[in-house]
Amino acid sequence: MYARVNIIFGTKDKVCPGVAHVEKSDRHVVEAAPGNRGLTTLVDRKTGVIVAISYWDDLAQSLEARLTKARAGAAKAAGGALITENFEIAVAERLAVPDPGATVQMTQMQLDPSRVDAGLAFVSDELLQRLSACSGLCSAELLIDRVIGNGLLVTTWTDQDAADRAQALLDGLRRDTEAARGATFPRSESYMLIWRSAPAS
């Protein structure tokens, strides 16, 4: 399965219309498209950033004209620019169904392209295992572009306090291991979950 990550860098005064456009106009279009397996929407109201992660059996199915039009409409409503990244879903763990308003941490990863499998094994077998022991974890997804080694670790938490505790653990782990494992974690960003129709396992 694959993920298309659409990030709209909107303006703070238009973030609400942007979110409303995604939820009221675009969601049914995306979810009705052949090959779609779900849609997650996130927002950072302080910065005006909206994230829409759609899940697909095949990335080519995300390129329909009506989907492109929907994404452009959401960016226009939010008063911002749209960028898109495509990933393979390497790991997907779901422990609980998060409520709207839950905290989602998006941690950027950069793996050495010549050591992608080793880097993924470290994140999956060690880092995610440590995070899974933290209270409040609802789900975790590991997204990767194997060609360039770019990836995202997307974790959903019951609330901001749980996310902050996990972030402190993650900070400590990555300082100790990223050089030896060929993996770096440039930054993490925090978002609020708007709505999620999760892909089937």
Query: 80-94: per-residue pLDDT in tens?
Result: 999 999 999 999 999
Of 7-16, 24-33, 97-106, 171-180, the one with minimum mean pLDDT is: 171-180
Condensed to tens digits (0 to 9), the pLDDT of residues 114-126 reads: 889 888 888 888 8
Contact 136, 156 (CB under 8 A): no
- Residue 200 belongs to a domain: no
* Residue 74 and residue 99 in one domain: no
* Residue 183 and residue 143 in one domain: yes
* Residue 58 and residue 95 in one domain: no
Tell me, what's the pLDDT at 11?
A: 96
Residue at which a domain ends, from 18, 52, 87:
87
pTM summary value: 0.93
Q: What is the phi-psi region of residue 151: left when phi exceeds 0, alpha when psi lies from -120 to 50, beta otherwise? A: beta
Three-state SS at 166: helix
Contacts of 68 by beta carbon, 8 Å cutoff, 6+ apart = none
* Residue 97 and residue 157 in one domain: yes
* Residue 133 and residue 68 in one domain: no
Condensed to tens digits (0 to 9), the pLDDT of residues 142-156 reads: 999 999 999 999 999
Contact 127, 183 (CB under 8 A): no
- Residue 69 belongs to a domain: yes
Count of Cβ atoms closer than 10 Å to residue 125 Cβ: 10
Q: CATH number, domain at 107?
A: 3.30.70.100
Tell me, what's the pLDDT at 177?
A: 62
- pLDDT tier at 185, thresholds 50, 70, 90: confident
Nearest CA-CA partner of 170 in 107, 88, 91, 122? 107
**Structural domain tally of the chain?**
2
Residue at which a domain ends, from 87, 122, 150:
87
Condensed to tens digits (0 to 9), the pLDDT of residues 56-68 reads: 999 999 999 999 9
- CA dist 47 and 178 (Å) reads 29
